[in-house]
Chains A and B, each alone.
Chain A
Amino acid sequence: MTTRRLLLAVFALLLALATAPSMGAAQSFITVASTTSTEQSGLFAHLLPAFTAKTGIEVRVVAVGTGQALKIGERGDADVLLVHDKPSELKFVADGWGVDRHDVMYNDFVIIGPTRDPGQIGGGKDAVAAFRKIAQAKAPFVSRGDDSGTDKEEKRLWQDAGIDIKKLGDGWYREVGSGMGPTLNTAAGLDAYTLSDRGTWLSFNNRRDLTLLVAGDPRLFNQYGVMLVNPARHPTVKVELGKTFIRWLVSPEGQQTIAAYKIGGEQLFFPNARE
């Protein structure tokens, strides 16, 4: 009966594991759907312990693109959204999916590319002009292609540059359908240009020949906003806990904690909440 004994041993082990503390739910927690940039830049790892220490509320972050985060909110699978595409956020609120939206912080988008810079865009400030030059040179460009906030910003820039990326057929423009990090990995591998948020770029460790080429265009402003998923649509939303988190983010204490996050002496996010 050794098989049975073995199976019994396995099942006993599993029962023990299944009841392990990691499987149980915490006392009070909220689920926040947010963007890959806030997670991968390390901001949440800096921010959330301070909030949890003060309030005892655990924050569970699901980091996806802004488009997907808004969908998660629509389905009622998160309590709070912290994302960065103001036009779609305002639409989300107007459509009745979100309430209590606040600006939280900003940083900027930057154009990244190979140091040999085949499109000759380095040092410029005009993002639209830079995109036009990249298109003229038919230099490889890697796009997120995932409906994230960065992806939407990039699509707007191509539109402003008068380039219809849907009609391109010559292979220099490549959509990878991934988060910012994988997109940067791909750009590094292909020696290609890409648009990144500054936070992810600063914390990214596999740059190879990539360098920051264009920044400072007012169009590249990147606003982050926070909002509560509308409890009238989804009664399971934790209103009080979620509001506590939102209020803390826009409070002087939360704003200072955001400002204090730096990598290599460089500040990644600039708080700009108006309480």
Chain B
Amino acid sequence: MSDFGEAFLLALRLILGLDHELLRIVGLSFSVSLSAVAIAGAIGVPLGAALAILRFPGRRPLIVVLNALLGLPPVVVGLFVYLMLSRAGPLGVLGLLFTPGAMVAAQAILVLPIITVLVERALAVPWASHGDALRVDGASRLRAVPELLRMAEAGVLTAFLAGFGRAIAEVGAIIIVGGNIAGFTRTMTTAIALETSKGNLPLALGLGIILIGITIAVAAFAFVMAQRGPRE
């Protein structure tokens, strides 16, 4: 049988068998990446909105830097977070290295520029066309943000999905700061890396198929939510 056929069969068997270890790995991948997106969103949405509607010195250089950080190499972020969280590092007292918390921190750093930049772009257009009207209503610039976010809903959703996609697919950072510990910090991507190392290529590919399937499901769910919203 071809490698791909075998991989599909293995993926099916893992899903249908509701493999306990698989469920735990999928659960961890989700909780880590969603937490990272939440943290990055809590910072990135206000920051993106500020960049879109406020004019302050250093705004343009900041946007240039954030755009450059879209290509932040995960392995470098992993190394940075590792050195920060290591017992010998400045945040060592937290004892976070080789825990899911460290993985959340690393992914949040990776996701933050994506959400910030995409939210800024999503809000810039309605701000240019409706900004005056929003301000004429007597609202201050900041008070206009919720209304702007509503107008740019699709763009904001895309920002979150892009951030989530970056987080769930990344392996370079979390394998360094999480340590790929069985049953504790092993995620979909680190498990795929490990199975590849062991030469279990069909199993590795099978896990990859499941990961892609889950990512598609998340995107579809978000899409449906966004579609249903305006009709209510």
Contacts and interface: CB of A to CB of B under 8 A. Distances in A.
A40 B31 contact: no
The 10 nearest A-B residue pairs measured at CB? A181-B197, A206-B199, A2-B229, A76-B87, A62-B179, A17-B31, A205-B199, A14-B38, A75-B88, A60-B181
B182 A182 contact: no
Contacts of A185: 196-197, 199
Interface in B36-51: 37-38, 41, 45
9 contacts: A6-B229, A10-B34, A14-B35, A23-B31, A60-B184, A77-B86, A182-B197, A205-B200, A206-B200
A31 B100 CA distance: 14
B101 interface: yes
A60 B38 CA distance: 27
A62 B182 CA distance: 9
Contacts, number: 118
Interface of A: 1-7, 9-11, 13-14, 17-18, 20, 22-23, 25, 31, 36, 39-40, 44-45, 60-63, 74-77, 179-182, 184-185, 188, 203-207, 234, 236
A75 B90 CA distance: 12
Contacts of B92: 76, 236
Contacts of A20: 27, 31
Contacts of A40: 194, 197-198
A17 B199 contact: no
A174 B16 CA distance: 42
B157 interface: yes
B226 interface: yes
A200 B160 CA distance: 41
Contact of A11 (B38, B98, B181, B201): B38
A10 B182 CA distance: 28
A152 to B, nearest CB: 20
A182 B196 contact: yes
A215 B199 CA distance: 22
Nearest to A31: B98
Most chain A Cβ neighbours within 10 Å, of B86, B160, B184, B230: B184
B182 A204 contact: no
Contacts of B112: none
Interface of B: 24, 27-28, 30-31, 34-35, 37-38, 41, 45, 86-89, 92, 95, 97-101, 146, 149-150, 153, 156-157, 160, 179-182, 184-185, 194, 196-201, 225-226, 229-230, 232
Given A2-B230, A13-B34, A22-B100, A7 B41 contact: yes
Interface of B is mostly: helix
A74 B225 CA distance: 50
Contacts of B28: 22
A205 to B, nearest CB: 4
Given A76-B86, A184-B199, A3 B101 contact: no
B181 A61 contact: yes
A212 B216 CA distance: 43
B150 A2 contact: yes
Contact of A22 (B24, B88, B198): B24
A63 B179 CA distance: 7
Given A18-B31, A23-B31, A184-B199, A62 B150 contact: no
A29 to B, nearest CB: 8
A4 B180 contact: no
B198 A6 contact: no
B68 to A, nearest CB: 27
Contacts of A31: 98, 179, 181
B38 A10 contact: yes
Contacts of A7: 41, 45
A19 B92 CA distance: 22
A62 B166 CA distance: 24
Contacts of A205: 198-201
Contacts of B87: 75-77, 234, 236
Contact of B34 (A4, A17, A74, A181): A17
B160 A23 contact: no
A63 B30 CA distance: 23
Given A2-B153, A76-B87, A180-B197, 10 more contacts: A2-B230, A11-B38, A17-B34, A17-B35, A23-B101, A39-B182, A179-B197, A185-B197, A204-B198, A236-B95
